[in-house]
Amino acid sequence: MTYEYIIAETRQNVGLIQINRPKVLNALSSGVMDELGVAIDSFESESSIGAIVITGNEKSFAAGADISQMKDNTFAEAFMGNFITSNWERVTVCRKPVIAAVAGFALGGGCELAMMCDFIVAGDNAKFGQPEINLGIIPGAGGSQRLTRAVGKSKSMDMCLTGRMMDAEEAERSGLVSRIYPAAELVDKVVEIAQEIAEKSQIAASMVTEVVDRAYESTLTEGVLFERRAFHALFATEDQKEGMAAFVEKRKANWKNR
């Protein structure tokens, strides 16, 4: 498949998607989001792929939704067209682990796209922000909700009300990102992490993403019950038998994803 706004490639068992509109700092047009959805569909249906990485370039992950494209939108067009919905949320329902590798700007929709991924690894030059207020709007792709859950009310209010950017150190300190690498090494390092995940049982990895996500959607009691049932269910898999046998026999597990 040839894409116009992204580059999609396979590295071992990892699907790597690079947003590729460098002249506009990877602004997220509907063309980008459509292609991102197609690439995720394709990697998700490929059984050898165990994890997906979404990245931009060293200067910008994505500087937000494409302002030129949306500036003349009317309320009726935004509402009736379900703007920022149909083609934006594909990543949130991907059943394979998705990691955002963020160097440079992750602003507005860019920050929101990163937060839709299962986790974020930052380059040391990363800058996160929800600057929509400077355009007379507010975050529209989940930023006010996911940022608040990630960093708490005070920082989220601060970021969304002032539009200021958070650097990589502050983002790691606040729990928004899991690790930081030098920007020049970021993609290779994140592909290594993704490959490490891809080498695990795909059933268990997919279950991890479901149970962790459930923490955002439920009470503690409900969430723990959901986790417990998923844990119980894994005893029905060949991978559980293989994983525990391999541990006891002091050998590497040979996952079948069954």
Hey, which residues between 205 and 234 contact ligand CAA (CB under 6 A)?
none
132 is catalytic: yes
Identify which of residues 66 and 239 has a Cβ nearer to ligand CAA in the complex: 66
Give me the 6-25 binding string for ligand CAA, x by CB under 6 A, dash otherwise: ------------------xx
Catalytic option among 35, 62, 101, 112: 112
Q: Is there binding between residue 131 and ligand CAA (CB under 6 A)? A: yes
Which residue from 15, 50, 143, 243 is in contact with ligand CAA, where contact means CB under 6 A?
143
Q: Is there binding between residue 246 and ligand CAA (CB under 6 A)? A: no
Closest to 82 measured CA to CA, from 134, 29, 141: 141
Which residue from 39, 65, 100, 116 is in contact with ligand CAA, where contact means CB under 6 A?
65
Which residue from 78, 133, 135, 253 is in contact with ligand CAA, where contact means CB under 6 A?
135
65 is catalytic: yes
d(CA 48, CA 46): 6
Identify which of residues 31 and 223 has a Cβ nearer to ligand CAA in the complex: 31
What CA–CA distances, in Å, run from 109 to 160, 210, 235? 13, 23, 40
Identify which of residues 15 and 110 has a Cβ nearer to ligand CAA in the complex: 110
Q: Is there binding between residue 52 and ligand CAA (CB under 6 A)? A: no
Q: What length does the chain have?
A: 258
CB of 60 to ligand CAA, least distance (A): 7
62 is catalytic: no
Give me the 107-126 binding string for ligand CAA, x by CB under 6 A, dash otherwise: xxx--x--------------
Give the H/E segment covering residue 248.
helix 238-248
The strand pairing partners of 121, in sequence order, are 101, 179
112 and 63 in contact (C-beta within 8 Å)? no
Give me the numbers of helices (H) and strands (E) for the chain, helices first please: 11, 10
The strand order across the sheet containing 165-167 reads: 60-62, 105-107, 127-129, 165-167
Which residue from 97, 123, 139, 243 is in contact with ligand CAA, where contact means CB under 6 A?
139
Q: Is there binding between residue 104 and ligand CAA (CB under 6 A)? A: no
Catalytic option among 50, 109, 123, 140: 109
42 and 6 in contact (C-beta within 8 Å)? no
119 and 178 in contact (C-beta within 8 Å)? yes
Q: Is there binding between residue 27 and ligand CAA (CB under 6 A)? A: yes
Are β-strands 6-11 and 14-19 bridged in parallel, bridged antiparallel, or unpaired?
Answer: antiparallel
98 and 120 in contact (C-beta within 8 Å)? no
d(CA 222, CA 220): 6
Which residue from 105, 119, 128, 255 is in contact with ligand CAA, where contact means CB under 6 A?
105
Binding site residues, ligand CAA, CB under 6 A:
24-25, 27, 63-68, 84, 105, 107-109, 112, 131-132, 135, 139-141, 143
Return the active site residues. 65, 109, 112, 132
